[in-house]
Structure 1
């Protein structure tokens, strides 16, 4: 909103609103929840949270509409709009703080991130209103308003308990690992320079042999792929185990689910590090280092699964099988790397 179109009396409440929302957002992002002394009712929490989210969406829409066409709202109207918007934002953050960590860290993180996304969306909308000339509804304002709606709609897709939150983490990890495996498989299936897609159209293909895999390179890649596939199988099997046996009735089981979520988040970075060093020219010491790291991580993951409540008799079979597969592929990769060296 330009200075000509927006008097100081109208913009001041908006600037105060923006500062308040940004402070609330920062507190939600970095703050701790309130621990409940008594019994916590998760169902009541979700009812209250969804009502608070609807109120924020409603207030953001009212604010956007007020500044969507001339004439400017009066100072009194802007003050009322700012107050009601701030009230809805405070209510949302307050309800978020009701969720104690004892309901599960994974759940709380996802609710926190969704809450922060809404607060950032409302702050961005206020910024756009302050900076846009009041001639017509700007594209930026439409986009920002839509951004708030989208962030609010996301709450309907949030996991409702810690088991569901952990399953969402696992699903994300499975997707990332699957993509990394497919990239390597695609590169191996192509007989050409694996970096040809980054060459300019007018550049000649490079003749440097360092851009191609040697026969030894390809042999070394085999057990590395085996380790990657073991990681993918571990995530898939763990997902099934959590679905079947995951329990949120005790603090110990909640903590175990969080431990599983946290350790599995380390798999995709470890797998990416290994995948990157497989591209030519292949540095065998780097491959051996990263294959050892990934194998060690997978052994740790399998150990945590084995000692958790999600591992019953039927799960123990695949845990032991994958443990052996990790050892086999690690040793095979090391043997191949050390050949002819």
Structure 2
């Protein structure tokens, strides 16, 4: 950024607030919330937060318009603009800190991420104004202003409590598993063995079937089947679990809130599990990796379904989300996972 691009001293207050906004953003990203000793009014929090977000959006618009065409604001006007937008940023960050962890970690994370996105957008807008020619409104400044509006608008879509926040996590994981299933299915439909009509016995000592690193063998395709079954079982588990959270999720007690947060944390392990398992399936297939990642992936699926496991004794069937009425589908999932694991293991070890 060059001071030559901003006439006179009007750039000084902008540079100062840029540094301040970046500091506020970093504190929000890494800081802790203020714990409330008394009762916390979540409805009042949302009303105040939405007002604060609206104020930031308005102040960002004023700042962008002031620097969209000549003449530039005077130094005094520039200082007023800088003070106003800094006041709105500090108000937003202060209101965010009101939200205590006791309202749910998942909710707080999503509010934090949305707040950081707004602060990053405002910082980027100020930086663009400082670095862009001021003879006309640049496309970059228009884009940056729109990014602030978009980040502020996202607050209207945020979940209003921890139950809603966990449902957002579950929905995202369902999307991840669905995409992985569809990608494997598409790859299978498009992949073709160029030597499929040639028998290995006819190759007489030559390397049979050409470069098998580029396509799936018949054995590979058989192994992919139970892996797909495992992915589909986890997708079914997540859908059932999402329905259970919608029906039974409770945000009125500390224990229920903690169980919802534990569920969200475990569920988020499915994404890397899906990726690791899928990567091992592509040619040349890594049989050892398939076995390892199947076991790891299935472990997370079972944990998410709240099965009895020694490692997660606090998350077993006593959970308020998945009670006795959900045991049927939990047991069905357990059987599906075990079946696919054993089937893949038998196929991998066959002729080895």
SS at match of 2:171: helix
2:276 is equivalent to residue 273 of structure 1: yes
RMSD: 1.6
Counterpart residue number, 2:15: 15
Give the deviation of 1:267 after TM superposition: 0.8
Change (3 A) 1:73 1:191: closer
Q: Which runs of 5+ in 1 are unaligned?
A: 195-205
Matches within 5 A, 1:149-160: 149-160=149-160
d(CA) in 1 for partners of 2:316, 2:189? 35
Residue 299 (structure 1) aligned to one of 294, 299, 302: 302
d(CA) in 1 for partners of 2:3, 2:82? 19
d(CA) in 2 for partners of 1:312, 1:41? 29
1:132-165: per-residue Cα shift (whole Å, max 9, x none)? 1111000011000000000000000000000000
Change (3 A) 1:77 1:48: same
1:293-336: per-residue Cα shift (whole Å, max 9, x none)? 11222222222363311113331110111011111111111111
SS at match of 1:9: coil
- More deviation, 313-322/70-79: 313-322
Counterpart residue number, 2:252: 249
1:33-65: per-residue Cα shift (whole Å, max 9, x none)? 000000000000000000000000010000001
- More deviation, 9-18/279-288: 279-288
Change (3 A) 1:5 1:282: closer
d(CA) in 2 for partners of 1:86, 1:193? 63
Give the deviation of 1:9 after TM superposition: 1.4
Counterpart residue number, 1:61: 61
Change (3 A) 1:191 1:128: closer
Change (3 A) 1:239 1:76: same
Counterpart residue number, 1:198: none
Give the deviation of 1:216 after TM superposition: 1.0
Q: Which runs of 5+ in 2 are unaligned?
A: 195-208, 308-314
Counterpart residue number, 2:24: 24
d(CA) in 2 for partners of 1:93, 1:290? 41
2:83 is equivalent to residue 51 of structure 1: no
1:149-197: per-residue Cα shift (whole Å, max 9, x none)? 0000000000000000000111111111100011111111224269xxx
d(CA) in 2 for partners of 1:301, 1:71? 60
Counterpart residue number, 1:83: 83
d(CA) in 2 for partners of 1:148, 1:305? 43
Report if aligned partners of 1:2, 1:134 keep a CA contact under 8 Å in 2.
no
Residue 335 (structure 1) aligned to one of 340, 346, 351: 346
2:150 is equivalent to residue 147 of structure 1: no
Residue 227 (structure 1) aligned to one of 225, 230, 252: 230
Report if aligned partners of 1:260, 1:305 keep a CA contact under 8 Å in 2.
no
Give the deviation of 1:290 after TM superposition: 1.1
d(CA) in 2 for partners of 1:118, 1:329? 45
Counterpart residue number, 2:102: 102
d(CA) in 1 for partners of 2:34, 2:341? 46
Q: TM-score, normalised by structure 2?
A: 0.91
SS at match of 1:227: helix
Counterpart residue number, 1:184: 184
